[in-house]
Amino acid sequence: MTPNYLSLLHALLPEASLVLGALVVLGFDLIVGRRHDLAQRTVYATVLGLLAVAAAVYHSYDARLDGEVFGGVFILDSLALATRVGVLLLTALTLALLPGVTRVKQPAEYVAIVLLATTGFTLMAIAQQLLVAFLALELASLSLYILAGFDRSRPESAEAALKYFLLGGISAAFLLFGFSLLYGLTGSIALPEIARQLSVQAMSPLLLAAVLMTVVAFGFKAAAAPFHLWAPDVYQGAPPTSAALIASGSKLAGLVMFTRLLWSGVGPSAGSVATFDVVPGWVPAVALAAVASLLIGNLGAIAQTNVRRLLAYSAIAHAGVLLLGVIVAGKFGPAALVYYAGTYGLATVGAFGVVAVLDAAGVGGSFADLAGLRQRSPLLAFCLVVFLLSLAGIPPLAGFFGKFAVFTAALKLNGLASWAGWLSIFAIAMSAVGLYYYLLVLKNAVVIPGRPDAAPIKVPVAAATALLLATALLLLLGLFPSVVLRAVS
């Protein structure tokens, strides 16, 4: 292998822009920010952060689809491009929620760490080697731990960060152990080579252990049951913008990375649920996690009275569908999965955006606190309706088509003569449960009148723009899903 550092630099320009942006944000705040108040510093940091993200988007397109880079350490394919653009868009929406909304006292540091986390996401999107994948994942995770604990005025934030960190650390240990076993079994850390080696190996207990350990870490990243326990506390305790990033960009990047890892690396040991005779491998394990997530997420969500905890349980439920998307990605490609994860991220960022604005306005987090939202801010109420209905899967919003695409693929595997088929039927049935709890939230926000003396809620311009953009994207992508499907062909 002759390393071509020039092509490597070209391929990694998006990440370079993000890191450079993080440094500029910090430096600018250090030099200029001291003379300004907190609100202005937040605006500066946000604008610089958005510029860095814009540069990264430009360079992502500029890097084109070069294929393997640096001897196959990275891969620039359509999936990588779509994922990079997707996570950058989600990050941009998250950043736009900051000015006038966030309670964070160190805006420059916050934005810089968001950019570093995003660097981790985009690297996860293109990693094709165990070591780089692990480093990218850890870069993202460590940044997210800090973001979860950033609100030092609230003990819940620290609690969220600690829980997230401890469980995340354990899952990282599992992943590293799994990786080392894979390396031991195949003698390589490059995904194509691992796949070549595994295709001539029969399933062995050691291989199964390696694969299952990888699935554990994956389940943690995707907030899938039974590795979901961190999600409600983190979603509730972390600053809303951090939770938005954890639930959206982090999820999209994680799903793509693990889908690549599991299919193009450990694909030969996938096993199968495409008939009733289960072939052991990681697919049955992921299918079990999907069933558990659908069940625990949807039933757990019914009992919630706090919007953020509800979003957490809804995230667990959605993880179930996403895992189904991972299972079908092997045969039908990851287009449906990326569409689902991306549009889910949009709706979740939006929902957390509404939560963030409400939080800044001093509105509590329970359903009852939402009462009268329609009078206090028609914009927020309207956006919340769109986000939650998209999560519930109501057409013509994007959430519906995402579900449709995943379920169709699962049924195409082998109709109802397979566990995968029945899993999708189960997921369709559970979506009726989902509508119930989303409507419970909307009932409070739209139906129940608030106190007559409740003051109107002001939505800062940047946040309003971000929310409306997310709303418009959910509608447009729902009407024209081919845009995404074609991009990830």
Partner 1 sequence: MNALPWTIYVSFAGAALALLAGNRAASVARTVALATALAGLALALVAAAAFKPGPGLQTLVDVPWIAEFGIRYHLAVDGISLTLIVLTGIAATAGVLFSWNIKERTGEFFALYLALIGGVYGVFLSADAFVFFVYYEIAIVPKYFLIAIWGSTNREYGAMKLVLYSFAGSALVLAGLLWAYAASGANSFAVADLAAAGAQLSPGVQQGIFALVFTGFAVLAGMFPFHTWAPTGHVAAPTAASMLLAGVVMKLGAYGCLRVALPLFPAGFVYWQPVIATLAIAGILYAGCIALVQEDFKFVIGYSSVSHMGFVILGLAAANSQAVGGAVLQMFSHGIIAGLLFAVVGRMVYERTHTRQFSDLRKLPLHKTMPFAALTFVLAGLASMGMPGFSGFPAELTILIGTWKTAPLWAGFAGFGILIAAAFTLRAVQVSFFGSTEPAGPAPAAPHDPHPDFEPITWPEKAGALLLIATTVYIGLKPDVLLDWITPALRSPLFQAVLKGGQL
CA angle 472/459/143 to nearest 5° reads 80
Given the complex with partner 1, which of 2 and 489 has the nearer CB atom? 489
- All residues at 6 or more sequence positions from 463 whose CB lies less than 8 Å from its CB, including other chains: 96, 97, 99, 100, 101, 353, 356, 357
Burial of 487 (0-12, 13-18, 19+ CB in 10 A): middle
Given the complex with partner 1, which of 203 and 394 has the nearer CB atom? 394
Say what angle helices 398-414 and 419-442 make with each other, to 10 degrees. Answer: 160
The CA distance from 304 to 311, in Å, is 9
Closest distance between partner 1 and the C-beta of residue 435, in Å?
5
Contact 384, 442 (CB under 8 A): yes
The CA distance from 337 to 326, in Å, is 7
The CA distance from 188 to 192, in Å, is 9
Closest distance between partner 1 and the C-beta of residue 302, in Å?
12
Closest distance between partner 1 and the C-beta of residue 24, in Å?
41
Selection from 142, 143, 156 nearest residue 308 by Cα: 156
Closest distance between partner 1 and the C-beta of residue 276, in Å?
15
Given the complex with partner 1, which of 183 and 404 has the nearer CB atom? 404
Burial of 440 (0-12, 13-18, 19+ CB in 10 A): middle
Closest distance between partner 1 and the C-beta of residue 357, in Å?
21
Closest distance between partner 1 and the C-beta of residue 61, in Å?
22
Contact 301, 315 (CB under 8 A): no
Q: How far is CA 19 from CA 7, 141, 192, 198, 230, in A?
A: 18, 16, 29, 37, 29
Given the complex with partner 1, which of 61 and 436 has the nearer CB atom? 436
Given the complex with partner 1, which of 51 and 439 has the nearer CB atom? 439
Closest distance between partner 1 and the C-beta of residue 386, in Å?
11
Given the complex with partner 1, which of 394 and 469 has the nearer CB atom? 394
Selection from 385, 397, 298, 311 nearest residue 352 by Cα: 311
The residues that touch partner 1, with contacts defined as CB under 8 A, are: 335, 389, 394-396, 400-401, 404-405, 407-408, 411-412, 415-416, 421, 424-425, 428-429, 431-432, 435-436, 439, 443, 446-447, 481-482, 485-486
Closest distance between partner 1 and the C-beta of residue 430, in Å?
9
Given the complex with partner 1, which of 252 and 388 has the nearer CB atom? 388
Contact 111, 46 (CB under 8 A): yes
The CA distance from 260 to 279, in Å, is 20
Given the complex with partner 1, which of 218 and 407 has the nearer CB atom? 407
Given the complex with partner 1, which of 357 and 420 has the nearer CB atom? 420
Closest distance between partner 1 and the C-beta of residue 470, in Å?
19
The CA distance from 385 to 114, in Å, is 27
- All residues at 6 or more sequence positions from 327 whose CB lies less than 8 Å from its CB, including other chains: 273, 283, 286, 287, 290, 410, 420
